[in-house]
Amino acid sequence: MPDQSTRPPNRFDLPEWAGAFGDLGTLIPFVAAYVSILKMDANGLLVAFGVSLIAAGSLYRTPFPVQPMKAIGAAAVSPSMIALGVVPATVIGAALTTGLLWIFLAVTGLGRRATRWVPRSALLGVVMGLGFSFMLGGIRMMSGSPWVAGLLLALTLLMLGRPRVPAMLLLLAIGVAIALIGQPGLVHDLRALRPGFKLPALAWHSLSANDLWTGLFLLALPQLPLTFGNAFIAITEENNRLFPDRPVSERSVALSTGLMNLASSLIGGIPMCHGAGGMAGHVQFGARTGGSSIILGSILLAAGLFLSASIGTVFRIFPPSVLGVILFLAGLQLALGSRDSGAEKADRFVVLATAAFAIWNVGAAVLFGILAHHASQRGWLRI
């Protein structure tokens, strides 16, 4: 685990507050889908996110992200998986088995040793491809209101060049105004909210062997290559590049991934990871310490404890156009971090080709990058 004595303290100033919301573009859509489509209880789900973010910010003291596992999220709410019998217990089972897998990788050192097989050119390609995929996702979200989203994007880019103006907070304020104007009934629904304290129920005792096996084979194992590339290799590289005074190790990232998924499954939450795009989003909007993670975690924890029954109404104040702008700029920040000005032509080929694969499948991109790098080193590829 990181040495806390040598790390600068977390801050909770205005830039940290602005950066805290830099990952909403992925968080809100996935959480909303789990709650509305799969009918998962938002109580344990949001509490798990809140506690995990507070722990990550306190431990690493960088804008360390906690995100939904995207492949699992997309699969779990798809009609085909629901038809196969995926239910909330299956997702909880996937979180439990995911946690055990990553603790195994951390304790045995297999995760750290596997990263030694990934050449730098392949890693840069994964980061670039993830950035492009985030940007494409943001564009899709903005396409529903292209003129509004275009103006918001232009305004946000303009404000990012003025550090004294918290671009994210301005963007969110405009987004709330757009939501209230575009949804006349939203004001009434917000006024009708009645906070009520509720602790998450323990979930392990209700899991069956079928929930665990189905969660493992249908959800957890297909996610593993994506998590390995994005939320293990890429996040370690991204953190250590941006914050060399607060480095993280592969072992600590694998261990925290495992522990937070065990805790999430215990209270009925979903599989989570430390996605590199989340850190890019936090940093893009001003975050520089773990204070941003603690701020977002505290908000999500409070929402889970007091507003879980009405979280769908709360999420309606964030229009897709605003979430799309956030996601686009997070992807842009991530892609910008994949530069390597001294690379040879063959290395640049590996970076660009791996990036193209990463837009489609991060696991395939890692495998392609390793093979392409060694093929070019042996002279089998002449570009």
- pLDDT of 100 reads 97
Indicate the residue type of 62.
T
Specify which residues 272 forms β-bridges with: 68
- Quote the CA–CA distance of 264 and 272 in Å, as a whole number: 8
Q: What is the pLDDT of residues 25-69, one digit of tens each?
A: 989 999 999 999 999 999 999 999 999 999 999 999 999 999 999
| Residue 317 reports pLDDT greater than 80 | yes
- Quote the CA–CA distance of 344 and 32 in Å, as a whole number: 44
Quote the tokens at residue 307.
């507003």
Q: Which residues contact 350 (CB under 8 A, 6 or more apart)?
A: 119, 121, 122, 125, 369, 372, 373, 376
| 13, 161, 140, 318: CA torsion to nearest 10 | 30
Indicate the residue type of 157.
L
Q: How confident is the model at residue 7 (pLDDT cuts 50, 70, 90)?
A: confident
Question: In this predicted structure, which of 106-120, 209-223, 268-282, 298-312 has the lowest mean pLDDT?
Answer: 106-120
* Average pLDDT over the chain, rounded to an integer: 89
Rounded mean pLDDT, 295-317: 95
- Residue 208: C-alpha distances to residues 38, 89, 90, 235, 258 (Å): 18, 8, 9, 33, 21
- pLDDT of 121 reads 77
Share of the chain above pLDDT 90, in %: 59
Name which residue leads in pLDDT, 257 or 372: 257
H runs (alpha helix) in 220-319: 221-228, 235-242, 250-266, 276-284, 291-306, 311-315
The residue among 101, 141, 59, 79 whose CA lies nearest residue 261 is: 101
Q: Which residues of 283-310 are buried (b: 16+ CB within 10 A; e: fewer)?
A: bbbbbbbbbbbbbbbbbbbebbbbbbeb
- Residues, the chain, total? 383
| Residue 214 reports pLDDT greater than 80 | yes
| Residue 101 reports pLDDT greater than 90 | yes
Helices (H) and strands (E) in the chain, counts: 21, 2
- Residue 262: C-alpha distances to residues 68, 94, 229 (Å): 14, 10, 21
- A 10 A CB-CB count for 210 gives 12
Are 99 and 345 in contact, with CB atoms under 8 Å apart? Answer: no
The residue among 286, 65, 41, 256 whose CA lies nearest residue 160 is: 286
Q: What is the pLDDT of residues 65-93, one digit of tens each?
A: 999 998 898 889 888 888 888 999 999 99
* Distance from chain centroid for Cα 23: 7
Rounded mean pLDDT, 7-15: 92
The helix (run of H) or strand (run of E) holding residue 338 is: none
The residue among 255, 226, 223, 181 whose CA lies nearest residue 2 is: 255
| Residue 339 reports pLDDT greater than 80 | no
- pLDDT of 177 reads 94
